[in-house]
Amino acid sequence: MQLSAAAPVILSLYVYAILLFSTAHAYNITQILAKHDDFSTFNRYLTLTHLAAEINRRQTITVLVLNNAAMNDILENHYSLYTIKNILSFHVLADYFGSKKLHHLNNGTTLTATMFQATGDAPGTSGYVNITALKGGKVGFASEDNTGRFASTFVKSVLEKPYKISVIQISRFLSSPYAEAPASGPTDVNITTLMAKQGCKAFADLLESTGADGTFALNVETGLTVFCPTDKVIQGFMPKYKNLSKDGKMSLLLYHGVPVYHNLGMLRSSNGVLNTLATGGSNKYDFTVQNSGDDVTLETKVVTAKITGTMYDEEPLSVFKLDKVLLPRELFKAASKSGSESYGAAPGPNSDDGVPSDQAAGQRNGGVRRSGAWLVAMILTFLCACI
């Protein structure tokens, strides 16, 4: 068998594609910090709190690392592990800040969100960090309500991979009364209480009235993503909800939960189909995740809903706000070809379209079905044609 003249080139492209897919998002914060003994305590607590895994999944991140002496200032207060996680989350910025960017801030100051902001324990914008240029070329870091005092300053850049990850050392830990407050573990979070406090009380009430909240609660420990329509959305949807059978109502509510943890960054990078808590047997009850830039939408073939905010995000639980109710095609008519989002007729009281909750909870699979290696497949096909 002879190779064509193009075969060496194709082989090179194939190897390059493999390397591309394996390194496109390859960084490990614990491995980065393991090279620096002075950050060993910080690194250890990233692992103990499982914050390291959350950092590694982010697409764009800045870690404000503390040396061992600065970490001791935290540990001497004998905080619980969950509180320490909140404190360290306050040191992880949800944006990229390299040394150059820090020393050339627009207007000399900026506010940026942290991972703590998405935990649900940060009221208002208390999970934001203020970064400000100080005299003498220094850069200060503090909580948003710092009254002009910056106790922590930039020390040095540890590692920079532009627009992916930046690890920089700061002189002292960032104090925040909210991050330092006693914190419960993620599995102790009451999902419906959380929803009710952040504009999704109507949906929370439906979960409690049907008992669906129990299924949601049982799935938190192993991983759960919840999509919650806001109160105004539920108010407009109630006439159609009331027309559903008892099983149909249960299936609709379970359809808003995915038994796998996904943060917003993961959803933005994972176009594909998601199964839900309602998935079981011949009833798919799935929907498709689509993204365009920073916008993430969920498509059910009946309606397209957009994620409008993050209510809670701390592994293994995340809760997002939606601008529409997710309507499964198993319960509602598909959208018209004209593109209008007609809800269609809901099943009547005797409809068998709804899946009983015990079936839905017992037969689910929350994996994302997607083909991420399409480029490699194309190159392999081309290679076979050239050999």
Residue 236's contacts (CB-CB under 8 Å, 6 or more residues apart) are none
CB 255 within 8 A of CB 285: yes
Alpha helices in the chain (DSSP H): 7-23, 29-34, 40-48, 51-57, 68-75, 81-89, 99-102, 191-197, 201-210, 212-219, 231-242, 246-254, 264-268, 357-362, 374-386
Rounded to the nearest integer, the mean pLDDT of the chain is 82
CB 335 within 8 A of CB 303: yes
Instruction: Pick the closest to residue 139 from 95, 88, 97, 91 (CA basis).
Output: 97
pLDDT at residue 370, as a whole number: 41
Place of tokens 């309602």: 278
**DSSP codes joined into one string, 148-170:** T---EEEEEEEEEETTTEEEEEE
Q: What is the radius of gyration, based on Cα positions, of the chain?
A: 24
Q: Phi and psi for 329 in degrees, rounded to 5? A: -65, -15
Residue 165's contacts (CB-CB under 8 Å, 6 or more residues apart) are 27, 29, 32, 58, 60, 61, 62, 63, 96, 159
CA dihedral 130, 135, 137, 141 (to 10 degrees): -20
pLDDT at residue 387, as a whole number: 55
Q: How many helices (H) and strands (E) does the chain have?
A: 15, 15
pLDDT at residue 359, as a whole number: 32
Instruction: Please list the pLDDT of the chain residue by residue as tens digits (387 residues).
Output: 454 555 555 545 544 444 444 444 568 999 999 999 999 999 989 987 878 888 998 889 999 999 999 999 999 998 888 899 999 999 999 999 999 999 999 899 999 999 999 887 888 889 999 999 999 999 999 998 888 889 999 999 999 999 999 999 999 999 999 999 987 665 678 899 999 999 999 999 999 999 899 889 888 877 899 999 999 999 999 999 999 999 899 999 999 999 999 988 889 887 899 999 998 766 789 999 999 888 999 999 999 999 999 999 888 899 999 999 999 999 998 755 444 444 444 443 333 333 333 333 333 334 444 444 445 455 555 554 555
pTM (two decimals): 0.51
Place of tokens 């529409």: 324
Cα torsion 17, 18, 21, 26: sign = negative
CB 237 within 8 A of CB 252: no
Measure CA 36 to chain center.
29
Which H helix or E strand runs over 311? strand 304-314
Residue 207's contacts (CB-CB under 8 Å, 6 or more residues apart) are 191, 192, 195, 213, 216, 253
CB 257 within 8 A of CB 276: yes
- In 3-state terms the chain splits into helix, strand, coil percentages (rounded to 5) of 40, 20, 40
Instruction: Pick the closest to residue 251 from 352, 122, 385, 165 (CA basis).
Output: 352
Instruction: Pick the closest to residue 331 from 265, 240, 269 (CA basis).
Output: 240
pLDDT at residue 222, as a whole number: 78
CB 309 within 8 A of CB 296: no
Instruction: Pick the closest to residue 229 from 282, 131, 300, 142 (CA basis).
Output: 300
pLDDT at residue 360, as a whole number: 35
- Looking at residue 264, its amino acid is L
Cα torsion 152, 156, 158, 164: sign = positive
- Tens of pLDDT, residues 340-361: 444 444 443 333 333 333 333 3
Parallel/antiparallel/unpaired status of strands 92-93 and 224-229: unpaired
